[in-house]
Structure 1
Amino acid sequence: MPRKGMRNIFFKSPSPTRMTPPSSPLHHTFSESLMEENIEVAQFIITKWDSSHDDNLVSLFSDKDEARQYLGSIKGLQKAMKYLVLHQSNSEKLVRAQLLMQTAMKRLQNEFYQILKSNRDYLDPESVSAHSSSRPSVSRSSFSEFEEEEEEEDESENENDSVPEVETASLAAMADLRAIAEAMISAGYAKECIKVYKIIRKSIVDEALYHLGVEREFTFQRIQKMEWEVLEFKIKNWLSAVKMAVKTLFYGERLLCDQVFSVSAAIRESCFTEISKEGALALFGFPENVAKCKQTPEKLFRILDLYEAVSGLWPEVESIFSFESTAAVRATAVNSLIKLGDTVRTMLMDFETAIQKDSSKTTVPGGGIHPLTRYVMNYISFLADYCGILSNIFEDWPFTVPSALPESYFGSPDSEGSISSPISVRVAWLILVMLCKLDGKAAMYKDVPLSYLFLANNLQYVTEKVRQSNLKFLLGDDWLINHELKVKQYAENYEKIGWSKVLASLPENQTAEIPADRVNDHFKKFNSAFEEAYMKQVSWVVPDPKLRDHIKISLARRIIPIYKEFYESNGGVQMKKEMWGESFIRFTPDDLGNYWSDMFYGSRSSGSVSSSSRGGGRSH
């Protein structure tokens, strides 16, 4: 177009190597006529879309060509005003141009407001953040440069053909808002533009936070007075809200600010800060206030949930709230992590103290699993699910084991399965503290065999909990192998002591020739010892099926071969056929296994031990 070429001639900066010729009257006349033309064009277009006219209810931006012409006329008007300020500052033309600019800005302000309101669904943070994840930035506004060729617009339209309708509408709305913002800021009407944007967008963000359950009144005093059930419900709500708030709401709002006000970094920061800062401070202040409240060991897992949520979102928080004016949001998130970490460390120390202070004197019937064992191992196995978070919390918190521990407890230092990480050492220490308490509780049993069975049962429960949870990754194979060996040692001690009288009732050499009266005496002693051991131990328990089978098989291998050899070497089979043999031969080798099969279930027989000839087992 000729006009564009002429502007390039008359408004090009002079070359520094050549003298600028003095202005000529002809030059002034032509420049003035050009400026007057700009004002005339602007007056025609701006008046046409004057928002004070009732019949102009159609959006200016519903027609791209009309919008381009309107913004182009504003750009020309600005140039005319700059010229007049320099050369004819007292001219009526300047007053006229200023009035036109005011009218245009009022129209753009209304358009800005209407686009924000009518495109609310397309400009909601979820939509903006969703399509911006695949499109890092919105395309440059088609109204920024009004001399662009139509070809570029056609290319842009072709690119949008494959884009979903919602995304296309969202991108178009952002482009329109950006074009208006650029025009108003350039004309010196930034304040009016920003005011509209802040009011509308802040209401949207505040409403979204309200629907997510983020309350501004969550003060420390209020939280401290809440019953735990109520507070736990609030924590669950917060955990479900925080990810949506950060990754969608604040992220989408930051993207929208960056795109609409891309022309000014200061305005971008100002708008985003005023829109989101208050809500973000309320969001991240909640976990910090929760951490300050009085805690009990049972609440630890919710504290860990809060820590995990904040730490997991920290990269996004740091990026989204990167402005200097939003430093308070970052600081609040960091303070929440610090307070939560301190609380976790304190709660674990309190948990250890609670184990050490357990003073229950009641023994578990039958040597079963102690409530302390169940509670501690269930607690610690849940802790193992947070091993990554706990590692972060304890990374800079060195732990010195209060007493000397055998090297075998933590594994060989040179082995891959040795315990070395801070959280692994702490978990191993907590289990050891509990096992030491169990040693003291085992001593409360009057029967020494029962105390060993108690230790075997409880340590078996510990090892199974470790094997079936993430504890196995924290403690390693060496720890498991060492403690499973201890279970077998406890079981062996139970067998040796609990059935020692039964074994002692038989001669050392079962095949040696023994006088008949001594044979009868050995049988009677065996009967008495076996019945005494059985009747005492039939009410004892071994809850774990594997350990129960292991003990039964071990007892059978320990006693039956010896008894069978003595039984067969001394005519036991023949004597059982004769009536007189029943008085001192009460058990066949097969009977022993039948009796053991009923043991370790915790049910005491209501009768007495009887021979197989009277029913093949116990009389019920």
Structure 2
Amino acid sequence: MMEKGHPPLPEKSGSFSGRDDKNNNKPFHPIRNLSVNYIMSHMPFGGSGGDDRHLSIVEEEPGRDDEDDEKDEEGDENSRSAKNSHHHKDDNSDANQLDAHRRYNIEDISDDELAKISDEVDVFLQRGEAGDSVPFPAIEKFIRLVGNEVVTRTEGKEINGVGASSLIFRGTSKDKGESEDGEFSVLQDIDKIVKISTALKGLPSGQQRVNEMIDRTGNVIYDAMMFLEEELRILLEDQNPKAEQLEGDDCISSEHQSEVKPVDTETGNDKTPCVYPPEIVDALRRIAKTMIFAEYETECCQTLLTTRLSLIETELAALGFEKTSIDDVQRINWDILEVDFISKWCIAFKKPFSGPERDLYAAIFSSSSKPELARELFTDIACTILAQLHTFAEAVALTKRSAEKLFKLLDMYDTMRDYFPKLTDVEKKNERLLDVTSELVDVRSRIGEAAVRIFLGLQNSIKSEVVKSAVPNGSVHPITRYIMNYLKLACEYKTTLTELFDEISGPVQPPPSTDNTDPSSGEPQPFQLSPFAVELTTLMDLLDENLDSKSKLYKDLSLTYIFLMNNGRYIIQKVRDSPEIKELLGDAWRRKRSSDLRHYHKAYQRETWSKVLNCLRDDGLMNPSRTGGVIKPVLKDKFKNFNAMFDEIHKTQSTWIVSDEQLQSELRVSISAVIVPAYRSFLARFSQYLDAGRQTEKYIKFGPEELENYIDELFDGSSTGSVSIVKRRG
């Protein structure tokens, strides 16, 4: 690689192997096209001072014999060799050699003479004439013209006010008014120099003048490749837009759309985001074609590889993903790793598999003699990035397992699962890429296994959760909220978890609660739960058992049922809100849990309000000695007992909490439906037996409407409920 600033890459087995020129032992490279006809007729080089020396040619003086020609050529060759040995830094030495002859600028040469030079070179290339009829003067002038053009551009001199460096791209601007031939004329000239070199090597050996000219063409080609290699790098770096800015076939010129047609591997659509604008891709294609034609494909690919790899790594760093070692990952706090690293890793992982990157290289090499280089270059870049991604994934797989890591592990698993087919489907026979991806498949399997073990660990979390004190006021227990919210999030990965459990599970054994019978009909139902659904059902059963044991911590049996109703309703509501859990657990499970809730509701009413209702019955109240008479002391006791019981229940249960509004309303309505009508009837039948005035005020504390209002204060967690109704009224 001639370019500085990039460390040499390791050799690739069987790919991008370079070759040396047998005559001058200079390494060959590949890059882009330009033409001498354009230089001679459309680019008026010139100026004053020492810069003009690069664009001058030596006039053939009349009467000059072959010996003088050979001396001139030898002097020029010495100058050229000195220039190469010092990498074009010793300008004074070169100038001294050239100034020994009379010089003319391009603009001083007539159009007829330029046309004659071009025609003679073209005829030579087409006919392959014998050595005695080779147009050496014309070929020599053509070589000098192209060499001077390359040197001028390489050194960044201005041509017509335009910086020579990156002139190829600037020439494509619409406002320049240049034709396509003008834009890439230098590349056409370099192609012709390569053809001249090949033709000269085919002439009979032993001619000194031929050998010297072969050396000159080799030097020009070498300098041209250095220039084109730098142009390639500049185009890649300076013209690299964000991929999302361009879409569709716009990244490839209409001339070559039929050769390379990007395909979106996810949708099958021809439209995919492009890495570069179409004019840049076209320029890169022309450069690559010229470099490969000159047998400099190694340098062409190396420049593309190092530059694109550097740009991709920069893009990934901008996304937040940077190369990290396994030890670094192990030391990072999970909260930071989850937000700042894993999320960015999932985005970065899609980069090597993107169609635009692969299509870019296909477009660049589409018109060269070696289109297969596109696949090899994509493989090199993809393998390098995948190796970095593999290291991070392996480090995450080795971290200590804990429940909060499940979701990010599943994100990583999903990313690898979804994007592997997009690569392997297109690169089915790419052994190098498949070797790298096989390592990632292994890491993916370990991440998937870790996710399964974490999910299974929930069973131990529920079993080991032991609390010796009850939750105040019978509200939803924290473990219920945690487990149900956790399962709701986990079941958003239902497809992935089902797939993982299917892979690692043996024969499916239903949990005890799934007795495959319909609670409403008692009819057996077919058992169709997947391994993941069985695990989920087992977790729900464990949670029920855990809550049942916690409910026994309450001394008030009524509060026990409130606690069970609160938690049961919370669980059912979470299941209803999650289509995934709802589908996994099935209708039979939901019917059974709804039946359990109704049972708790009835048990609560029986435990709490049956004694209150007993106060409103006429048992022992009627006087057997008098028809229609009542025993007043018994009647007074019944009113007193009702007042005391209701006041105590209100004082206690108004502090209890039923957070589900629907359940709260259902409880209040059911209580009112039982108590208020019974109280109204009792009051209507027996209030007349109390003396008006003091007795009525003393024993009848509530009207039916007041009673209903007080019932509506139950289960709202109010602190005022702890105060007796009688005291509040008094």
- TM superposition score normalised by structure 1: 0.77
Match of 1:608 in 2: 724
Q: Distance in 2 between matches of 1:501 and 1:551?
A: 17
The structure 1 residue matched to 2:386, chosen from 251, 264, 280, is 280
The structure 1 residue matched to 2:456, chosen from 349, 357, 377, is 349
Report which stretch shifted further, 511-520 or 588-597. Answer: 511-520
Q: What do residues 465-485 of structure 1 show as CA deviations (whole Å, max 9, x unaligned)? A: 223344445445654454334
Match of 1:308 in 2: 414
Amino acid at match of 2:469: T
Amino acid at match of 1:428: T
Q: Distance in 1 between matches of 2:690 and 2:381?
A: 100
Per the TM alignment, residue 73 of structure 1 is displaced from its structure 2 partner at its CA by: 5.8
Per the TM alignment, residue 298 of structure 1 is displaced from its structure 2 partner at its CA by: 1.9
Amino acid at match of 2:655: S
Tell me if structure 2 keeps the 8 A contact 1:418–1:475.
no
Per the TM alignment, residue 514 of structure 1 is displaced from its structure 2 partner at its CA by: 6.0
Q: Are 1:568 and 2:568 counterparts? A: no
**Structure 1 residues 113 and 525: alpha-carbon distance in aligned structure 2, compared to 1, 3 A threshold:** same
Q: Distance in 2 between matches of 1:446 and 1:77?
A: 101
Per the TM alignment, residue 283 of structure 1 is displaced from its structure 2 partner at its CA by: 2.2
Q: Are 1:444 and 2:553 counterparts? A: yes
Per the TM alignment, residue 383 of structure 1 is displaced from its structure 2 partner at its CA by: 1.8
Q: State the identity as a percent.
A: 25
Tell me if structure 1 keeps the 8 A contact 2:131–2:203.
no
Amino acid at match of 2:144: T
Match of 2:604 in 1: 494
Q: What do residues 68-116 of structure 1 show as CA deviations (whole Å, max 9, x unaligned)? A: 6665566666666666766735555763563354234324413422432
Match of 1:116 in 2: 232
Q: Could you tell me which runs of 5 or more consecutive residues in structure 1 were left unpaired when the two chains were aligned.
A: 1-28, 145-165, 611-616
5 Å matches for 1:437-516?
437-470=546-579, 471-475=581-585, 479-507=589-617, 513=628, 515-516=630-631
Q: Distance in 2 between matches of 1:413 and 1:395?
A: 30
Amino acid at match of 1:102: G
Amino acid at match of 2:338: E
Per the TM alignment, residue 254 of structure 1 is displaced from its structure 2 partner at its CA by: 2.8
SS in structure 2 at match of 1:577: coil
Match of 2:363 in 1: 259
5 Å matches for 1:274-423?
274-318=380-424, 323-398=430-505, 399-407=508-516, 420-423=529-532
Amino acid at match of 1:308: D
Match of 1:227 in 2: 333
Per the TM alignment, residue 494 of structure 1 is displaced from its structure 2 partner at its CA by: 0.4
Q: Distance in 2 between matches of 1:562 and 1:201?
A: 85
**Structure 1 residues 406 and 319: alpha-carbon distance in aligned structure 2, compared to 1, 3 A threshold:** closer
SS in structure 2 at match of 1:50: helix
Q: Distance in 1 between matches of 2:518 and 2:538?
A: 10
Q: Distance in 2 between matches of 1:38 and 1:141?
A: 37
Tell me if structure 2 keeps the 8 A contact 1:81–1:94.
no
**Structure 1 residues 422 and 341: alpha-carbon distance in aligned structure 2, compared to 1, 3 A threshold:** same
Q: Which has the higher helix share?
A: 1
Tell me if structure 2 keeps the 8 A contact 1:205–1:276.
no
The structure 1 residue matched to 2:144, chosen from 24, 30, 47, is 47
Q: What do residues 199-238 of structure 1 show as CA deviations (whole Å, max 9, x unaligned)? A: 333332333333333332331x222222223322333552
Amino acid at match of 2:145: K
Q: Distance in 2 between matches of 1:169 and 1:347?
A: 44
Q: Are 1:580 and 2:695 counterparts? A: yes
Match of 2:665 in 1: 549
Q: Distance in 1 between matches of 2:456 and 2:132?
A: 80
5 Å matches for 1:50-65?
50=147, 54-56=151-153, 57=157, 58=164, 61=168, 62=171, 64-65=180-181
Q: What do residues 562-588 of structure 1 show as CA deviations (whole Å, max 9, x unaligned)? A: 232222122x15737332344444443
Q: Distance in 2 between matches of 1:46 and 1:93?
A: 14
Q: What do residues 261-320 of structure 1 show as CA deviations (whole Å, max 9, x unaligned)? A: 344255334433444432332124313321220021122222223223333433444467
SS in structure 2 at match of 1:337: helix
Q: Distance in 2 between matches of 1:72 and 1:384?
A: 62
Match of 2:713 in 1: 598
Per the TM alignment, residue 454 of structure 1 is displaced from its structure 2 partner at its CA by: 0.9
The structure 2 residue matched to 1:198, chosen from 280, 305, 308, is 305
Tell me if structure 2 keeps the 8 A contact 1:205–1:275.
no
Per the TM alignment, residue 438 of structure 1 is displaced from its structure 2 partner at its CA by: 0.4
Amino acid at match of 2:408: R
Per the TM alignment, residue 560 of structure 1 is displaced from its structure 2 partner at its CA by: 2.2
The structure 2 residue matched to 1:268, chosen from 366, 374, 379, is 374
**Structure 1 residues 595 and 35: alpha-carbon distance in aligned structure 2, compared to 1, 3 A threshold:** farther
Q: Distance in 1 between matches of 2:571 and 2:147?
A: 81
Match of 2:77 in 1: none
Per the TM alignment, residue 244 of structure 1 is displaced from its structure 2 partner at its CA by: 6.6
Query: More relative contact order in 1 or in 2 (CA 8 Å, sep 6+)?
Result: 2
Match of 1:6 in 2: none
5 Å matches for 1:15-26?
none
Tell me if structure 2 keeps the 8 A contact 1:38–1:80.
no
Tell me if structure 1 keeps the 8 A contact 2:251–2:276.
no
Per the TM alignment, residue 125 of structure 1 is displaced from its structure 2 partner at its CA by: 6.9
SS in structure 2 at match of 1:593: helix
**Structure 1 residues 508 and 244: alpha-carbon distance in aligned structure 2, compared to 1, 3 A threshold:** same
Match of 2:539 in 1: 430
Q: Could you tell me which runs of 5 or more consecutive residues in structure 2 were left unpaired when the two chains were aligned.
A: 1-125, 158-163, 172-177, 260-272, 623-627
Per the TM alignment, residue 370 of structure 1 is displaced from its structure 2 partner at its CA by: 1.1
SS in structure 2 at match of 1:215: coil
Per the TM alignment, residue 439 of structure 1 is displaced from its structure 2 partner at its CA by: 0.7
Q: What do residues 372-395 of structure 1 show as CA deviations (whole Å, max 9, x unaligned)? A: 111111211222333333333334
Q: Distance in 2 between matches of 1:404 and 1:511?
A: 49
The structure 1 residue matched to 2:704, chosen from 581, 589, 593, is 589
In the comparison of the two structures, how many residue pairs are matched?
559
Amino acid at match of 2:358: R
SS in structure 2 at match of 1:384: helix
Per the TM alignment, residue 364 of structure 1 is displaced from its structure 2 partner at its CA by: 1.2
Q: Distance in 2 between matches of 1:417 and 1:548?
A: 36
**Structure 1 residues 39 and 347: alpha-carbon distance in aligned structure 2, compared to 1, 3 A threshold:** farther
Per the TM alignment, residue 557 of structure 1 is displaced from its structure 2 partner at its CA by: 1.2
Q: Distance in 2 between matches of 1:459 and 1:367?
A: 12
Tell me if structure 1 keeps the 8 A contact 2:475–2:567.
yes
RMSD over aligned Cα, in angstroms? 4.1
Tell me if structure 1 keeps the 8 A contact 2:346–2:411.
no
**Structure 1 residues 583 and 201: alpha-carbon distance in aligned structure 2, compared to 1, 3 A threshold:** closer
Per the TM alignment, residue 173 of structure 1 is displaced from its structure 2 partner at its CA by: 3.1
Amino acid at match of 1:369: V
Amino acid at match of 1:594: N
**Structure 1 residues 215 and 330: alpha-carbon distance in aligned structure 2, compared to 1, 3 A threshold:** same
Per the TM alignment, residue 355 of structure 1 is displaced from its structure 2 partner at its CA by: 0.7
Tell me if structure 1 keeps the 8 A contact 2:566–2:660.
yes
Q: What do residues 19-56 of structure 1 show as CA deviations (whole Å, max 9, x unaligned)? A: xxxxxxxxxx9652599669876654443121587545
**Structure 1 residues 334 and 573: alpha-carbon distance in aligned structure 2, compared to 1, 3 A threshold:** farther
Q: What do residues 376-434 of structure 1 show as CA deviations (whole Å, max 9, x unaligned)? A: 11211222333333333334343534435343689999999997344444333322211
Match of 2:290 in 1: 183
Tell me if structure 2 keeps the 8 A contact 1:527–1:586.
yes
Q: What do residues 173-204 of structure 1 show as CA deviations (whole Å, max 9, x unaligned)? A: 33333233333323433233333333333332
- TM superposition score normalised by structure 2: 0.66
